[in-house]
Structure 1
Amino acid sequence: MSFFLVQRTIRRIPVKSKFLPYYLIAPVTLFLLCFFVYPFLLVASQAFSSGGDGYSFDNFSEILSYWKFPISLKNTLLLAAAVVPVQVALALLMATMVNRMEKGRDMVLYIWTIPLAISDLAAGIIWLAIFEQSGFLNSMMHALGVIDKPMNLLSYQNMGMVFLAIALAEIWRATAIMMVILVAGIGLIPKEYYEAAEVFGASPWKRFTKITLPLLRPSLQTALLLRVILAFEIFAVVAALGGTLFPVLMGQTYEYQFDLLNSGAASAMALVILAISIAFTIVIMRSLRVPKGIQI
């Protein structure tokens, strides 16, 4: 019934009306106000509440002085620094390969994007089956004679291996997100540019650095922004592979909300993660600023 009401309302609006764009974005705006802005204001209110009628920074002082916060921040930043550059390089390589394929392109794209259909927790459990004591990696090393008996790889004594397992799981799970965006971006670059460069004797590497990368900057900026923001929200993969051995910021938020039942501190932690994400977003947008002449 509401659909027909909206349709009837749109029909009454003159096609050339200057208010037409505002009518069209009104439903989306209303949705964002109800399900994003209002909940965000509630979270912000909880973060700054002092338990009484006033507001203070007590919740922020609590989370910043907690002994796990520096460790969680360091682990989150290290994971982002280790995972995102590798994913950018892999996504660029995969996207370039896909766009050069003449046959089997759709099948390769389908296979490479399968991890996108797997939830974070499921991806962590899959890699847990590889790295756990009775998992594939231990079985393979034992069969090859590398070790005498299965080892507990994911323990506090092997924190480097815990970090490696989480990084590999994230690279496997989320690289396809960037790859899909870059494939679309490369597909929008006119082929005439490559043909002209080839006529003038430009090597494949020269064509990639002088044509593909500059014209791919808008898509690369979008992919990098999305991936960096998601990197600061990593939780389920870490919970599956590292548990409490490898604390991260989102894990601390979960702990405050559901283990310690402290909604104010959890809200404050959420705002801290938001602030970090915004800071890195500004850095990325300034570093990969798209020139006005590039519209791809």
Structure 2
Amino acid sequence: MKIQPLTHKYRNREVVKSLLYILPTYLILSIFIIVPIFFAFYLSFNKWNLLGNIKFTGITNYKKLFQMEEFWTALTNTFYYTFITVPIGICLSLFLALLLNSKIKGIAFYRAAYFMPVMTSVVASAFIWQWIFQSHNGILNYIMGFFGFGPLSWLNEPKGIFSVIFDYIGVKLPDFLGGPSVTLVAISIMSIWKNTGYYMIIILAGLQNIPKSYYEAAEIDGAGPVKRFFAITLPILSPTTFFVLIMSVIVSFQVFEQIAVTTKGGPLNASLVLVYFIYERAFRFLEVGFASSAAFILFAIVIILTYFQVKILGGRIHY
């Protein structure tokens, strides 16, 4: 039986039907995402306070942005936050996923327990950690007291974490070696606690897709647990960990809620990050055009970082 090829008219009809199916999604994306992006890009070259007329200023907003010390502080803090949360979060997620991938009793309970912080609202999480980080009655300072360390004002300490550590042993560090502020470290700890469960589930799914026969063959050949991990688990899991790396970097540059609920960028801009800087400029100082320029600088940074991650690490991924 000879199969008749599709006619040109029929193919066109199928294309039209397909376009009609995706039209609602396209309209929603256009109204709520695409149009606002182009409008924000237009505003980045203008001055606007949400009330008056829009006034074209060219690249003035970008010049002003790069000359503002507060912007560089926010950018530095954002990079600090990323360097803290991303490697620690991925390593902790991988460790927990490996534990949950083993045969232990009550595995469903542990999975739910580790994932629960993800489902907890940021406001509720912030209240929990504010109690933990309290200067006088906080549980963290109480534990530190057992080891002979004095209490810290975790959410009100602009001093660098390395400066604080070396102060305990009587060494005075210069300010530029102080590292991220104690406050930013505290917020990073809170974020790691909240996000680790999400990445753990993704990595766990990747682990469960690795055929058990690989491990059995390696075990017969005499490979121990460590060798099996580096020779089998990590290479096969590399696409999953690569995805988690890219996602966690992007999410870390978008940190906002934790800052807004706990410190509002303080003390002395010690926890000011780029997204909160943009928020303040847009809705506190009503500099919408200026905030839009900062938003596109943030967008460019994320795109560049993602590109270099793909360029440098993409060739090492085992698909």
Once the two structures are superposed, the pairs formed by residues 124-273 of structure 1 within 5 Å of their partners are 124-137=126-139, 140=142, 146=148, 152-156=153-157, 158-160=159-161, 161-243=182-264, 244-245=266-267, 246-273=271-298
- 1:258, distance to aligned residue in structure 2 (A): 1.5
* Range 22-31 or range 213-222, more displaced: 22-31
The one-letter code matched in structure 1 to 2:112 is Y
Q: What amino acid sits opposite 2:67 in the alignment?
A: S
Separation in 1 of the partners of 2:250 and 2:38? 20
Counterpart of 2:164 in structure 1 is: none
Q: Secondary structure at the match of 1:261?
A: coil
1:169 deviates by: 0.7
Query: In structure 2, how many angstroms separate the alpha carbons of the residues matched to 1:79 and 1:143?
Result: 26
Rounded to whole Å, the distance in 1 between the matches of 2:43 and 2:66 is 16
Secondary structure in 1 aligned to 2:44? helix
1:155 maps to amino acid? N
Residue 127 of structure 1: how far off its partner (Å) = 1.2
Query: CA–CA distance in 2 between the matches of 1:290 and 1:25?
Result: 34
* Structure 2: unaligned runs, 5 residues or longer: 1-9, 49-53, 162-181
Structure 2 counterpart SS, 1:100: coil
Give the CA deviation at 1:163.
Answer: 2.6
Q: Alignment partner for residue 111 of structure 1, among 88, 110, 113? A: 113
Task: State the alpha-carbon separation in 2 of the partners of residues 90 and 98 from structure 1.
Answer: 12
CA distance in 2: counterparts of 1:258 and 1:50, whole angstroms: 14
**Residues in 2 aligned to 1:190 and 1:174: alpha-carbon distance in whole angstroms:** 28
SS of aligned partner of 1:254: helix
1:65 to 2:62 alignment:
no
Q: Name 2:43's counterpart in structure 1.
A: 46
Displacement of 1:28 in angstroms is 3.0
CA distance, structure 2, for counterparts of residue 279 and residue 64 of structure 1: 18
**Number of equivalent positions:** 280
Give the TM-score taking structure 2 as reference length: 0.78
Aligned residues of 1:99 and 1:183 also touching (Cα < 8 A): yes
CA displacement, residues 106-161 of structure 1 (integer Å, 9 cap, x when unaligned): 2111000011112334323321111123432377259859579x664433454433
Provide closer, same or farther for how the CA distance between residues 27 and 287 of structure 1 changes in structure 2, counting only shifts above 3 A: farther
Equivalent residue number for residue 284 of structure 1: 309
Q: Where is the helix percentage greater, Structure 1 or Structure 2?
A: 1
Q: Which amino acid aligns with 2:308?
A: V
The gaps in structure 1 that reach 5 residues or longer are 1-12
Matched with 2:4 is none
TM (norm. structure 1) is 0.83
Residue 49 of structure 1 deviates from its aligned partner by 2.1
What SS class does the counterpart of residue 101 from structure 2 fall into? Answer: helix
